[in-house]
Structure 1
Amino acid sequence: MSRAYAVVAAAAGAGLVLFAASRPWAGVAPAERTGADLYPWLSAAALLALAGAGALLAVRGSGRILVGVLLAAAAVAIAGGAVHALATDVRTGWLLLVAVGGVGPFYGGVMAIRGRDWTTTGDRYERPGATTGPAAMWDALDRGEDPTDR
C-alpha cells in the first residue's frame, strides 16, 4: 500500500507544482510573468517528478532506488525555486502551492528508496516459489516436463 501512496503523492505534488507555476506570479496585466517564466526549472522538475511517479509502478531493485533519488532531487529543485522566489521578494499564493507540491515528490522518493519489499507490475501473475525465466523453462523441457502445465 505504501507504493500506491508514494505514486499518488509524487504525481499529485508534481501536478500541483505544474499548475501553480503556470499562474501569474509577477507583473501587471498584460505583462504578467508566470512562475515558469521566472523559474523555468520548476516545470522541468515537476515533469521529472511526474515521470518518476509513473516509473515507480514498473521498476524494481536498484532501478527503484534510482527513481527514488531522482524524485527526491526533483523535490529539492522545486523547493529551491520556492526559496529563491522568497529571497527575491516574489510574494504570491501560488508560491505556497509550489512549496506544498514539492513535498509529494520528496515523500514518494523517500518511500521508493525504503520500499525494498514492493512488488512490481508482473509479480502478481507469478506463482509463489516458482522459478521463472527462459532458462528455467528450457531446463524443465530438458527434464521432459511441460513448463506450461503447472
Structure 2
Amino acid sequence: MTRHRLAAVLACLAGAALTLYAATRVWAVQVEQRPGLSDLRTEQTGSDVQPWLTGLALVALAGAGALFATRGVVRRVLGVLLALSGAGIAVGAVLARAGADPGAVGAAGTLWPVACVIGGAVVAVGGVVTARHGHRWAAMSSRYERRPAGPVEKEETPGGRALWDALDRGEDPTAG
C-alpha cells in the first residue's frame, strides 16, 4: 500500500469516526424556566442540530472502504465525493455553531462543533489526496475473480458402465 493511499484511507476513517462521535454528543442544553414547576431541560446533539452530519460521516466511512475496491477514474470521482462530503460536514458544523441560540446553556462552551469541523476537514483532505493521486494506486487483486468462460476441454472420463466393468475385473477405477 502506498504512503498516499494509506494516508487517504486513514484520514477518511479518522475524520468520519470523529464526526460520528462528535455529532452524537450534546452540543447545547436549553433550560426553560417555568414558574411553579421545575425547569425544563432540553439537550440537543449535533445530529439534532444538523441531521445530515451523521449521513455525510457514513458516506465518508463507505468511501474509505470503496478506495480499496475502485481504480482509475472511478477512484478519482470517489475522491471528489469524499472531499465534498468533508466540506459538507465542516460547513454544517460551522453553520450550526453560528446559528446556536446564545441563550442556550452550553451553546458557546461546547467544542463538539469544532470537532466536527476538524473531522470534516480531515475527510476533505483525504478526498483531495485521493482525487490527486488515486489513479496511480494499485487496484484490488483479481486473484479470486472468475476467469472468462472459454472453450472447455472435456477430459476423457470413463462412463458409469466402464467403472463397473473395471470393478468386475478387480481393478480400482479411482487409481491413477
TM-score by length of 1: 0.78
The structural deviation recorded for 1:71 is 0.3
The alignment status of 1:63 with 2:81, answered yes or no, reads no
Equivalent residue number for residue 146 of structure 1: none
Equivalents in 1 of 2:65, 2:50: separation in Å? Answer: 24
- Tell me which of 70, 83, 91 is aligned to 1:80: 91
Equivalent residue number for residue 137 of structure 2: 118
The alignment partner of 1:119 has SS state of coil
The structural deviation recorded for 1:86 is 2.5
**Runs of 4 or more consecutive aligned structure 1 residues displaced over 6 Å after TM superposition:** none
Equivalents in 1 of 2:47, 2:13: separation in Å? Answer: 18
Change (3 A) 1:86 1:28: closer
Equivalent residue number for residue 63 of structure 2: 52
Equivalent residue number for residue 116 of structure 2: 98
Equivalent residue number for residue 18 of structure 2: 16
> Which structure shows the bigger proportion of residues in helix conformation?
1
Equivalents in 2 of 1:121, 1:5: separation in Å? Answer: 17
What is the aligned-residue identity percentage?
45
The one-letter code matched in structure 1 to 2:67 is L
Contact 1:82–1:95, Cα closer than 8 Å, also in 2 = yes
Equivalents in 2 of 1:79, 1:73: separation in Å? Answer: 10
Equivalent residue number for residue 108 of structure 1: 126
CA-based RMSD of the aligned residues comes to: 2.1
Equivalents in 1 of 2:13, 2:124: separation in Å? Answer: 11
The one-letter code matched in structure 2 to 1:55 is A
Equivalent residue number for residue 3 of structure 1: 5
Q: Which has the larger radius of gyration?
A: 2
Q: What residue ranges of structure 2 are gaps of 5+ in the alignment?
A: 32-40, 101-106, 153-176
TM-score by length of 2: 0.67
The alignment partner of 1:47 has SS state of helix
Q: What residue ranges of structure 1 are gaps of 5+ in the alignment?
A: 126-132, 142-150
- Tell me which of 46, 57, 62 is aligned to 1:35: 46
Equivalents in 2 of 1:43, 1:86: separation in Å? Answer: 16
Deviates more, 1:22-31 or 1:3-12: 22-31
The alignment partner of 1:31 has SS state of strand
The one-letter code matched in structure 2 to 1:10 is C
